[in-house]
Amino acid sequence: MNIAEAIELLKEHGYKTTGKRKDILTFFEEADGYRTAKDLIQYLEESYDGISFDTVYRNLHLYNEVGILETTELNGEKHFRMNCTHHHHHHFICKDCGKTKEIEVCPMNEVKKTLHNYAIEDHKFEIYGLCPKCQLA
């Protein structure tokens, strides 16, 4: 998902294009990994003095709903990243910088065989640790 696609998606859903919304997209495009609401607020405050929590959280939820962002919970805090739409995969997540590496392995087909009569709605497979760069730092 890139910025142009995201703006198009918002328009399709009838949402307005505002400066802040564009800046939020820019932030996540540059981030290339998971970021928190706090990270985003810090970024936006450079351009907008006194940005409202309401604006930040409302847009994060909106973006998540329409599929621009995906989210995961780490240490009691929600983290967001640009959605990878192309195909199903999972992530290695660096605990230090938040950057992710795609993992192609998904064991769900195998798992489904062992879960007769269970209604599977969702699954989460994440690997945590330090990326090569952050090990050196």
Partner DNA sequence: TATCATATCGTAATGGTTACGATTTGTAAA
Partner DNA sequence: TTTACAAATCGTAACCATTACGATATGATA
Q: Which residue, 2 or 125, is less far from its own copies as judged by CB? A: 125
- The distance of closest approach from Cβ of residue 17 to DNA in the complex, given in angstroms and rounded to an integer, is 4
76 binds its own copies (CB under 8 A): yes
Contacts of 68 (CB under 8 A, 6+ apart): 1, 6, 9, 10, 25, 82, 83
Q: Which residue, 59 or 120, is less far from DNA as judged by CB? A: 59
CA 97 to chain centre: 14
- Is 97 annotated to bind ligand? yes
Can you give the length of the chain in residues? 137
Judge residue 81's burial from the number of C-beta atoms within 10 Å of its C-beta, 0-12 exposed, 13-18 middle, 19 or more buried.
buried
15 binds DNA (CB under 7 A): yes
Q: Which residue, 4 or 105, is less far from its own copies as judged by CB? A: 105
- Is 123 annotated to bind ligand? yes
